[in-house]
Amino acid sequence: MKKTIQISSVSFVALYIIAALCYPVFFNPSKLFFCDLMETNIGIEESINYGRPFAIASLISVATAVASFFIWFANQSKWSKLKKNFTKISGSLSAFLTAFIFTELHDQLLLLASVIGFFPLTIIATEMLKTKPKRISILGLISFLLLAVYNIVFYLNIYELFWPIMQKICIAICLIWINLEAVKTQTSKFAL
């Protein structure tokens, strides 16, 4: 699972960059959302978006990284079987729904993925807070906090100007954190 997280994360970044470069007009990440890369036609003249397949592939890559993280984190925990299965299933379901936000059901799938993903994220954040202070992942807690703030301002429809940049920051910090967790666990096992 750790390799899947790492490969999917790198694939996401590479495919995202290719999609942005193939976008028919200049893709400004501070003003446009990741979802804008998945539009079929762009602008008044409706230029064909040749970056769309790369954007969808990057979406699938990030969804794979997220689902793999939930499964990996639950598997390496000392939780009950029920808690592990709940985290794996709900986290993967949230990621699966996210993989289809390029469709006409974008808003509905995004809301559903956010609601379902809240529960496994809360379980992981709570578990992180229960651990000894030296084991708390500050970056993980920052990731959860940023995701919470972003979802709150988005669904309350406030600070709209900051949404696109907040989206990119949340994605970047979450991917950095889950990859650092995977690498940290991998290197600590080699040290044993």
Write the pLDDT tens digit of every residue in 133-157: 555 578 888 999 999 999 999 999 9
CA distance 50 to 145: 35
Q: Which amino acid is at 85?
A: N
Greater confidence, 13 or 183?
13
Q: Which amino acid is at 87?
A: T
Summarize the confidence of residues 78-83 as an average pLDDT. 94
Q: Name the nearest CA neighbour of 69 among 151, 167, 152, 143.
A: 143
pLDDT confidence tier of residue 90, bands split at 50, 70 and 90: very high
pLDDT confidence tier of residue 51, bands split at 50, 70 and 90: very high
Summarize the confidence of residues 50-56 as an average pLDDT. 95
Inter-residue contact 63 to 34 (CB < 8 Å): no
CA distance 37 to 35: 5
**3-state SS class at 174:** helix
Summarize the confidence of residues 71-82 as an average pLDDT. 93
Q: State the pairing for strand pair 47-48/41-42.
A: antiparallel
Neighbour tally for 144: CB within 10 Å: 21
For residue 88, what are its two tokens? 């794996």
**3-state SS class at 166:** helix
Greater confidence, 48 or 184?
48
Residue 136 pLDDT? 54
Inter-residue contact 171 to 58 (CB < 8 Å): no
CA distance 180 to 182: 5
Residue 116 pLDDT? 96
pLDDT confidence tier of residue 88, bands split at 50, 70 and 90: very high
**Reported pTM:** 0.88
Q: Name the nearest CA neighbour of 39 among 98, 102, 96.
A: 102
Summarize the confidence of residues 162-172 as an average pLDDT. 95
Q: Name the nearest CA neighbour of 36 among 65, 61, 16.
A: 16
The DSSP bridge partners found for residue 42 are 47
Query: What's the mean pLDDT when you consider all of the chain?
Result: 90
CA distance 151 to 149: 6
Residue 125 pLDDT? 87
